[in-house]
Structure 1
Amino acid sequence: MNNKKIIMVLISTFLMGVLTGCGSNTNETQSEKSESASQTGVVSDDSSKESNENEEINDNSDEMSAETESEGGKVLVVYYSASGNTEAVANTIAETMNADIFELEPVEPYSDDDLNWSDDNSRVTKEHDNPDSRNVELIAAAVDNWESYDTVFIGYPIWWGIAAWPVDGFVKANDFTGKTVIPFCTAASSGIGESGELLAEMAGTGNWLEGEKLRSGASAEDIQAWVEGLE
């Protein structure tokens, strides 16, 4: 073999080696890229899975919180106040018991003249003398989430020995089944009398406890002592 042919063989062998090496490196690079992409995909899937698991945990926590609130029961203070005395007591009870509060408001409010019981021509006197006229329409008698309340305080002034009749519309409009109901009143001189019992008869449902007359300046300590005495 002459020198020219030897050189050509060597060149051909060298080129084949170079090409083979490049191909191998290319395959290795592609393999590494594929593995990297695969690993990245796994991490992404794990992150998605972890995110979903966290969302499920949060959802479960929210459900448990809602269930705990429902099981713990809630307290509501409902009241009608003609001159502000019952309102003051109702606010103190709500603060002491960490309760929600709901005011009963007549569509046609009572003025000072309307409440003048010594005037035979006043609105409240005429309503007292004519029981059919005591159906006082309220702005609202339905309480949001009524079913969530386990204990309901109902407050009112005493009119002629009974609960002020604007309360009647609320009592008649609601179902007290499964609820503990606690009447309270404010009055210048008379006590609570049979006002709570009469409201219980009107309601026909609920566990009505004995009511209490409270002074308008009753403190949180007074309220707490009274409530503890009910148990």
Structure 2
Amino acid sequence: MSKVFVAYFSASGVTKTVAEKLAQEIKADLFEIQPETPYTSADLNWQNAKSRSSVEMNDRSSRPAIRSRVADMGAYDVVFVGFPVWWYREPSIIDTFMEDYDFSGKTVVPFATSGGSPIGSSGKNLEALAPGAKVESGKRFAANTPGSELAAWAAQWL
């Protein structure tokens, strides 16, 4: 049986809810990707072109620092990576996370939360950041997605 890991970034708590349900259902270890400098509500104002999140998302080379590291990423075979959809893709902090580890030989499965935006190009983006990994296209979920639905979806990689 594969050793499974769920890593997630959540700005408002929605992705955290989905990640916790997923990890519980599939009996995976759970890790929160936390920015070294937490985002404020002003930072998350997507309508302000000068907000921190807008500036980061407009600069594809932006790599926000992460507060802590996964102790032993090498122990995992399947890594689910969760995030809110920002500007039709993964937030830049996810790019930081992907570049911080060697995912060679692992299966990486993105999952996202959004009020309506699709997961977009996130799977392809993560694939470019994880050479040697098998990166799936992923799926978007609503905050109220039942744990049983998350488990049924994840079962294909377990």
Q: TM-score range by the shorter chain?
A: over 0.9
User: Looking at CA atoms only, which structure, 1 or 2, has the larger radius of gyration?
Assistant: 1
The Cα offsets for residues 161-210 of structure 1, whole Å up to 9 and x where unpaired, read as 11011111110011111211110000111111111111111111211122
The Cα offsets for residues 94-113 of structure 1, whole Å up to 9 and x where unpaired, read as 00000100111111111011
**How high is the sequence identity, in percent, across the aligned residues?**
35
In the alignment, structure 1 residue 177 sits paired with structure 2 residue 104: yes
Greater RCO (Cα-Cα under 8 Å, separation 6 or more): 2
In the alignment, structure 1 residue 125 sits paired with structure 2 residue 54: yes
CA distance in 2, matches of 1:129, 1:220: 34
Amino acid in the other structure paired with 2:141: L
Distance 1:206 1:115, change over 3 A: same
Secondary structure class of the residue paired with 2:153: helix
CA distance in 2, matches of 1:145, 1:125: 32
> TM-score normalised to the size of structure 2?
0.93
> TM-score normalised to the size of structure 1?
0.65
Alignment gaps of 5+ in structure 1: 1-71
RMSD across aligned positions (CA)? 1.5
Amino acid in the other structure paired with 1:190: S
Secondary structure class of the residue paired with 1:159: coil
Matches within 5 A, 1:133-148: 134-140=62-68, 142-148=69-75
In the alignment, structure 1 residue 206 sits paired with structure 2 residue 133: yes
Higher helix share: 1
Distance 1:129 1:206, change over 3 A: closer
The Cα offsets for residues 75-112 of structure 1, whole Å up to 9 and x where unpaired, read as 10000001111100000010000010011111111101
CA distance in 1, matches of 2:153, 2:30: 19
Alignment gaps of 5+ in structure 2: none
Deviates more, 1:100-109 or 1:216-225: 216-225
CA distance in 2, matches of 1:228, 1:156: 20
The Cα offsets for residues 129-186 of structure 1, whole Å up to 9 and x where unpaired, read as 3334x2101112x312222211110001111111011111110011111211110000
Amino acid in the other structure paired with 2:10: S
CA contact (8 A) 1:73 1:148 kept: no
Amino acid in the other structure paired with 2:67: I
Amino acid in the other structure paired with 1:214: F
Amino acid in the other structure paired with 1:199: L
